[in-house]
Amino acid sequence: LDERGLRLIERGKPYVLEASRYPQTKSPDQGFVDTILGRCENPAPPICGLRVAQLTDAIYKAVSEGKPVKLRDLKV
């Protein structure tokens, strides 16, 4: 994470998730209220929650099996 955004690797290729692409809110609570009232797009759509759940499952599985886990191999 730096001033440009978050550095990630997807399918073996590095890229930067630019922070400027996402609306800034005063607080998470205000962002939630603004989204519910239609004042802005949802900055954390449901797919983001799914990705976090997949990553969390992969972490637990990798630790319990003692080896790397590919996200695409997990059942969701």
The model's pLDDT over 13-72, given as tens digits with 9 standing for 90+, comes to 888 877 666 666 678 888 889 999 999 888 778 888 888 888 899 889 999 999 988 877
Distance (Å, whole) CA 48 – CA 19: 15
Q: Which domain holds residue 64?
A: 26-75
Residue 69 lies in a domain: yes
Residue 51 lies in a domain: yes
Looking at the 3D structure of the chain, how many domains does it have?
Answer: 1
Residue 8 lies in a domain: no
| Residue ranges in 1-76 assigned as alpha helix (H) | 28-36, 46-65
Residue 18 lies in a domain: no
CA dihedral of 11, 22, 31, 45, whole degrees rounded to 10: -30
- Please state whether the predicted TM-score (pTM) of the whole model is above 0.85: no
